[in-house]
Amino acid sequence: MIEGVAFYILSTVAVLGALLAVSRRNLVHGVFALLLFFAALSGLFVMLMADYVAAVQVLVYVGAVGILQLFAIMLTEHVTGDDLRRLGARGWFWGLMLAVALPVVLLLPPLLNGEPPVPPAAPQSTARQLGSQLMEHYVVPLEVLALLLTGALIGAVAVAHGPEKDPPGKDRPA
């Protein structure tokens, strides 16, 4: 009973946070709404007995990612979202249709089937299991992910910096 109430409260907060995050023009407000969403999500992870993932969600997303985003946004111009610099969205009707159709297609089969799946017995501590899986069975994908992050970092710097200033005979494009 109490779990049901907690689930509905947390998911309402999460959905509201997500909606606010995409609808705010002011990017700083948007990031705060996103943080709200992350926090509610970590609550949902706790309810799923995923203690480690919930902790990481708070540490990494609410803590590091949110702060980084705030930094990045405050270092750029036009934070307060003036309406002139918006991309035109002509296809909003079809977007809306798709947004409605997707949950219907994805959620209808489980809803029609009734019978919620039986929750498995709670594992003792997920951190140990996750750790041993990551370091033994999935160590190669983990390394590939590290490479992915390296590539993303290098790429972000390369694109943000633009071309080097000293190629002979070519001036830097505006």
Binding stretches for another protein (CB under 8 A): 106, 109-110, 113, 115, 137-141, 144-145, 147-148, 150-152, 154-159, 161-164, 166-168, 170, 172-174
Q: For another protein, which is the closer residue by CB, 19 or 154?
A: 154
Distance from the first to the final alpha carbon of the chain: 61
Buried b (16+ CB within 10 A) or exposed e, 144-174: eeeeeeeeeeeeeeeeeeeeeeeeeeeeeee
Q: Alpha helix (H) ranges present in 24-138?
A: 27-47, 51-56, 66-75, 92-113, 126-132
Nearest distance from C-beta of residue 107 to another protein, angstroms: 10
Cα–Cα distance measured from residue 157 to residue 150, given in angstroms and rounded to the nearest whole number = 11
Nearest distance from C-beta of residue 83 to another protein, angstroms: 20
Q: For another protein, which is the closer residue by CB, 75 or 94?
A: 94
Q: For another protein, which is the closer residue by CB, 1 or 104?
A: 104
Distance (Å) of CA 16 to CA 7, 21, 33, 38, 58: 14, 8, 8, 11, 18
Q: For another protein, which is the closer residue by CB, 2 or 84?
A: 84
Nearest distance from C-beta of residue 140 to another protein, angstroms: 6
Q: For another protein, which is the closer residue by CB, 64 or 147?
A: 147
Q: How far is CA 37 from the centre of its chain?
A: 9
User: Would you state the structure tokens that stand for residue 97, as one six-digit string?
Assistant: 């249709």
Nearest distance from C-beta of residue 131 to another protein, angstroms: 16
